[in-house]
């Protein structure tokens, strides 16, 4: 049956058809002319299989997907889980195996008849195996994904001979928003169970799944429409459009339509011509009839899921620099560890909520960078971002600096008055860094401003309404500070409506190589020097360190290495001494030294190796601990300096220099 998705109709004899197709397959793989016809879809797939270099006699599906990745491979698992019971019943009733695979052709779910499953295992038809055309040649899963169409493959139509005893029917699942293929549903059984209704069943299942996805998309579009309304109310002069994940315009300011910026397919024309993902912040310029317009795209996340974006258009006449505008977005945040990715997912969700947010985290974790990213991803991204270090404002100027003053309010006041930081943040975000250092008197004023949503300037009589979002940050335990009377409890609860705890670098140690590589590239560009890489030993030492200064301390290391290292590779001998000692003590099971950033501590070694005891390691001097580590390793290696240097990852001359007068030519214990 030519040009058909099914292998045969109900009137065709499966036994005779199997023989005919097998003969055609043999002629194809031996290069002979075919005596009988095969479907065009099958023949084209055979040709693709040849180009992929598949062995038709010994082809075996490779197992690619690790077990721990299976659940995360499909973006709509919650929908798939709802229909699992129905899928299992379909398979058992039909005497088949039911399979779901992702868009790479990797099987993520398989169920059905137990005896049939055992037979299928012999050809690696198992969870985790890839059945894409590029790995196993013509088969219903791989061919349906390759063509984007439903497909039934019978017996010898499979490109690989080990699969000739099977028949399979598969249909792709498409995302209704992006039209991209998400995966496929497949029914597989013995060749003599072939029936055209198998493909109809699979198509019905995929249509049901796509229907559920469409309902979710409808909800997402409703949420985006609400965001459009909210933004329009808060920024009445804004020119904006809101789009779904597939670049479909949900609603836009009439100017978008009048200027022809929206195409016939209801897409923003610029986005179809530019290359970036809709899930990241983006800015671009476009020459229009009345000059150069600027556009800002801010992705919108709902419950951790990217559902669309808001696009702001800035006309040529109003392109003035923003006050203290942001430099960073979520794409600036580097990390792939599970803890970090979970944290970023939560932060993206909170970015879409226009409520006060408290960020807690150790010094150096990048709290302001995070605050900027949240602002850039929020509905206030087109407004200003004003950052204030609450611990750096002089107490006598704090009120006027934050809340402003009227002209003549005090001696030396500017004639026309002064807008404070809160007014400067109108329509945008104010970031109160080190909020825990704010004086109690100023906390009282701040609480009143937040509660009332308005302020009165110094010397002023009339309240000024505010439309801002407040993000505060601290490296202190504010809850404990309230218990000690150092921070107002009512202000703490007012700021802590939403909360984020930034993970320390130690908690996300798996990200250190990625961060260090990023920092080294940036630093080397800044200093105009050739790129640097880190050898295995040095990287192992860097990863073992506690990093009390977090990313800031890692950045400082990158600068030190870029300034110090002459070649192109950072070795263990190039690293700072305190880091080397830390690694050595940790590696050899001694208590790790107290991490300190203090340098040039005094060195007074007055002991010999045989005098070392466990209590000696309790000294607070980092350099003393360094000496103790070296001497201990020397003891273990019977005084062999060369071997000790290798074990510690330093040069032997470094050992002589560090031990100084403890190593003399008369002391033949050291060689």
What average pLDDT does the chain have? 82
Q: Does any domain span residue 228?
A: no
Q: What is the reported pLDDT for 237?
A: 76
Nearest to 486, CA basis, from 504, 497, 474 = 474
Kind and range of the H or E element at 305? strand 305-314
Instruction: Determine the Cα–Cα distance for residues 598 and 671; give it in Å rounded to an integer.
Output: 33
Q: Which one has a higher pLDDT value, 649 or 155?
A: 155
Q: Does any domain span residue 490?
A: yes
Nearest to 655, CA basis, from 556, 545, 581 = 581
Nearest to 457, CA basis, from 411, 423, 415 = 423
Instruction: Determine the Cα–Cα distance for residues 652 and 668; give it in Å rounded to an integer.
Output: 16
Nearest to 100, CA basis, from 92, 88, 113 = 88
Q: Does any domain span residue 4?
A: no
Last residue of a domain, one of 152, 181, 215: 215
Instruction: Determine the Cα–Cα distance for residues 225 and 252; give it in Å rounded to an integer.
Output: 10
Last residue of a domain, one of 252, 286, 318: 318
* CA distances for 295 relative to 145, 241, 281, 553, angstroms: 36, 10, 11, 36
pLDDT at 495 over 70: yes
Q: What is the reported pLDDT for 617?
A: 36
Provide the 3-class DSSP secondary structure of residue 268: strand
> Average pLDDT for residues 212-230, to the nearest whole number?
88
Is the same domain home to 510 and 474?
no
pLDDT at 282 over 90: no
Whether the CB-CB separation of 191 and 155 falls below 8 Å is answered with yes
- DSSP labels for 479-542? HHHHHTTSS-HHHHHHHTTEEEEPPPTGGGGGGHHHHHHHHHHHHHHHHT----EE-HHHHHHH
Q: What is the reported pLDDT for 614?
A: 35
Last residue of a domain, one of 474, 501, 528: 501
> Average pLDDT for residues 223-230, to the nearest whole number?
85
pLDDT band, very low/low/confident/very high, at 77 (cuts 50, 70, 90): low
Tell me the per-residue pLDDT of 8-40, one tens digit each, with 9 for 90 and over: 666 777 788 899 999 999 999 988 887 778 888
Instruction: Determine the Cα–Cα distance for residues 343 and 187; give it in Å rounded to an integer.
Output: 39
pLDDT band, very low/low/confident/very high, at 459 (cuts 50, 70, 90): confident
Is the same domain home to 184 and 289?
no
Is the same domain home to 81 and 171?
yes
Q: What is the reported pLDDT for 610?
A: 34
pLDDT at 303 over 70: yes
Torsion of CA 614, 615, 620, 621, to 10 degrees: -60
Query: How does 534-546 read in b/e, with b if 16+ C-beta sit within 10 Å?
Result: beeebbebbebbb
Q: What is the reported pLDDT for 173?
A: 93
Range scoring the smallest mean pLDDT among 24-28, 109-113, 116-120, 272-276: 272-276
Sheet of 498-501: strand order equals 385-389, 429-433, 469-474, 357-360, 498-501
Is the same domain home to 309 and 337?
no
Range scoring the smallest mean pLDDT among 153-162, 231-240, 503-512: 231-240
Query: What global pTM score does this model have?
Result: 0.58
Q: What is the reported pLDDT for 2?
A: 44
Q: Does any domain span residue 272?
A: yes
Q: What is the reported pLDDT for 32?
A: 86
Instruction: Determine the Cα–Cα distance for residues 287 and 91; give it in Å rounded to an integer.
Output: 57
pLDDT at 98 over 50: yes
CATH number for the domain harbouring residue 170: 3.30.450.40
Q: Does any domain span residue 324?
A: no
Residue bearing tokens 């699992």:
84
Range scoring the smallest mean pLDDT among 12-21, 80-89, 334-343, 599-608: 599-608
Instruction: Determine the Cα–Cα distance for residues 130 and 107; give it in Å rounded to an integer.
Output: 6
Residue bearing tokens 């510690």:
648
Q: What is the reported pLDDT for 71?
A: 63
Cα angle 16-20-25, degrees, rounded to a multiple of 5: 145
Query: Would you tell me the crossing angle of helices 536-544 and 577-587 to the nearest 10 degrees?
Result: 80
Is the same domain home to 492 and 547?
no
Is the same domain home to 306 and 337?
no
Q: What is the reported pLDDT for 25?
A: 93
Q: Does any domain span residue 493?
A: yes
> Average pLDDT for residues 486-510, to the nearest whole number?
92
Q: What is the reported pLDDT for 598?
A: 37
Is the same domain home to 496 and 522?
no
> Average pLDDT for residues 571-578, to the nearest whole number?
86
Is the same domain home to 511 and 494?
no
Residue bearing tokens 């949900």:
250
Torsion sign, CA atoms 650, 652, 657, 662: positive
Q: What is the reported pLDDT for 417?
A: 66
Instruction: Determine the Cα–Cα distance for residues 669 and 671; give it in Å rounded to an integer.
Output: 7
Q: What is the reported pLDDT for 496?
A: 94
Q: What is the reported pLDDT for 589?
A: 59
Query: How does 18-39 read in b/e, with b if 16+ C-beta sit within 10 Å?
Result: bebbeebbeebeeeeeeeeebb
Residue bearing tokens 């060369």:
642
Nearest to 241, CA basis, from 298, 326, 177, 302 = 298
Cα 364 → chain centroid: 20
At 308, give phi and psi (nearest 5°): 165, -160
CATH number for the domain harbouring residue 262: 3.30.450.20
CATH number for the domain harbouring residue 532: 1.10.8.60
Q: What is the reported pLDDT for 276?
A: 67
Domain that holds residue 266: 235-318
Is the same domain home to 466 and 509?
no
Range scoring the smallest mean pLDDT among 260-264, 548-552, 660-664: 660-664
Rg over alpha carbons for the chain, rounded to the nearest Å, is: 33
Instruction: Kindly state the percentage of the chain with pLDDT values over 70.
Output: 82
Is the same domain home to 536 and 458?
no
Instruction: Determine the Cα–Cα distance for residues 265 and 415; give it in Å rounded to an integer.
Output: 56
Is the same domain home to 59 and 172?
yes
Q: What is the reported pLDDT for 591?
A: 52
Return the bridge partners of 169, or none.
152, 187
Instruction: Determine the Cα–Cα distance for residues 144 and 613; give it in Å rounded to an integer.
Output: 71
Please count the other Cβ atoms lying within 10 Å of the Cβ belonging to residue 342.
12
Q: Does any domain span residue 552?
A: yes
* CA distances for 579 relative to 113, 517, 545, 574, 596, angstroms: 59, 18, 7, 10, 10
Q: Kind of pairing, strands 107-112 and 97-102?
A: antiparallel
User: What is the 8-class DSSP label of residue 360?
Assistant: E
Q: Does any domain span residue 51?
A: yes
Q: What is the reported pLDDT for 441?
A: 87
User: 258 is written with which tokens?
Assistant: 């009048």
Whether the CB-CB separation of 479 and 425 falls below 8 Å is answered with no
Q: What is the reported pLDDT for 529?
A: 87
**Spatial CB neighbours of 304, under 8 Å, sequence gap ≥ 6:** 345, 346, 348, 349
Is the same domain home to 190 and 68?
yes
Q: How many distinct structural domains can be found in the chain?
A: 5
Tell me the per-residue pLDDT of 578-628, one tens digit each, with 9 for 90 and over: 788 787 777 655 555 544 443 333 322 322 333 333 333 333 345 566 677
């Amino acid at each position: 049956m030519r040009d058909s998705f099914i292998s045969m109709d109900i009137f065709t004899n499966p036994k005779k058809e199997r023989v005919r197709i097998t003969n055609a397959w043999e002629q194809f793989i031996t290069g002979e002319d075919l005596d009988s016809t095969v479907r065009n879809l099958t023949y084209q797939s055979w040709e693709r299989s040849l180009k992929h270099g598949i062995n038709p006699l010994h082809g075996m599906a490779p197992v690619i997907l690790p077990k721990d990745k299976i659940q995360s491979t499909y973006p709509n698992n919650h929908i798939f889980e709802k229909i699992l019971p129905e899928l299992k019943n379909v398979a058992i009733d039909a005497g088949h195996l039911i399979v779901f695979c992702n868009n790479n052709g990797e099987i993520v779910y398989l169920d059905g008849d137990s005896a049939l499953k055992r037979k299928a295992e012999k050809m690696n038809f198992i969870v985790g195996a890839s059945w894409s055309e590029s790995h196993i040649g013509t088969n219903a899963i791989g061919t349906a994904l390759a063509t984007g169409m439903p497909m039934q493959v019978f017996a010898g139509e499979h490109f690989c001979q080990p699969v000739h005893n099977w028949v399979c029917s598969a249909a792709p699942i498409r995302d209704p928003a992006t039209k991209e293929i998400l995966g496929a549903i497949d029914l597989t059984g013995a060749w003599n169970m072939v029936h055209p209704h198998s493909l109809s069943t699979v198509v019905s299942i995929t249509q049901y799944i796509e229907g559920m996805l469409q309902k979710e998309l409808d909800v997402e579009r409703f949420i985006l429409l609400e965001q459009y309304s909210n933004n329009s109310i808060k920024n009445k002069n804004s020119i904006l459009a809101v789009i779904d994940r597939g670049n479909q315009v949900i609603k836009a300011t009439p100017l978008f339509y009048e200027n022809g910026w929206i195409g016939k397919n209801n897409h923003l024309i610029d986005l179809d011509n530019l290359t970036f993902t809709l899930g990241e912040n983006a800015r671009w310029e476009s020459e229009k009839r009345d000059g150069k317009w600027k556009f800002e795209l801010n992705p919108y996340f709902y419950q951790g899921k990217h559902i669309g974006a808001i696009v702001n258009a800035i006309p040529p006449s109003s392109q003035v620099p923003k006050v203290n505008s942001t430099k960073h977005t979520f794409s600036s945040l580097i990390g792939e560890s599970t803890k970090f990715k979970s944290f970023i997912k939560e932060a993206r969700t909170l970015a879409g909520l226009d409520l006060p947010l408290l960020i807690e985290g150790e010094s150096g974790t990048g709290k302001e960078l995070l605050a900027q990213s949240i602002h850039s991803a929020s509905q206030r991204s087109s407004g200003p971002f004003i950052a204030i270090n609450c611990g750096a404002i002089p107490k006598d100027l704090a009120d006027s600096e934050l809340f402003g003053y009227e002209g003549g309010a005090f001696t030396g006041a500017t004639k026309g008055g002064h807008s404070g930081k809160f007014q400067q943040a109108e329509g945008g975000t104010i970031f109160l860094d080190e909020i825990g250092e704010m004086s109690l008197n100023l906390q009282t004023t701040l609480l009143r401003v937040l509660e009332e949503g308005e302020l009165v300037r110094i010397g002023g009589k009339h309240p000024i309404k505010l439309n801002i979002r407040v993000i505060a940050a601290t490296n202190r335990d504010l809850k404990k500070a309230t218990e000690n009377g150092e921070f107002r409890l009512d202000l703490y609860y007012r700021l802590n409506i939403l909360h984020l705890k930034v993970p320390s670098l130690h908690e996300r140690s798996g990200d250190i190589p990625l961060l260090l590589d990023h920092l080294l590239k940036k630093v080397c560009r800044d200093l105009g020097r050739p790129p640097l890489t880190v050898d295995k030993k040095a990287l192992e030492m860097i990863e073992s360190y506690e990093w009390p200064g977090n990313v800031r301390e890692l950045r400082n290391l990158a600068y030190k290495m870029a300034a110090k290292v002459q070649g192109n590779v950072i070795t263990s001998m190039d690293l700072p001494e305190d880091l080397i000692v830390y690694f050595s003590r940790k590696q050899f099971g001694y208590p790790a030294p107290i991490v300190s950033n203090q340098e040039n501590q005094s060195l007074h070694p007055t002991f010999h190796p045989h005098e070392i005891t466990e209590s000696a390691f309790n000294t607070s001097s980092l350099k003393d601990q360094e000496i103790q580590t070296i001497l201990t390793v020397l003891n273990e290696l019977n005084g062999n300096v060369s071997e000790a240097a290798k074990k510690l990852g330093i040069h032997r001359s470094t050992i002589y220099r560090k031990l100084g007068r403890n190593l003399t030519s008369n002391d033949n214990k050291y060689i």
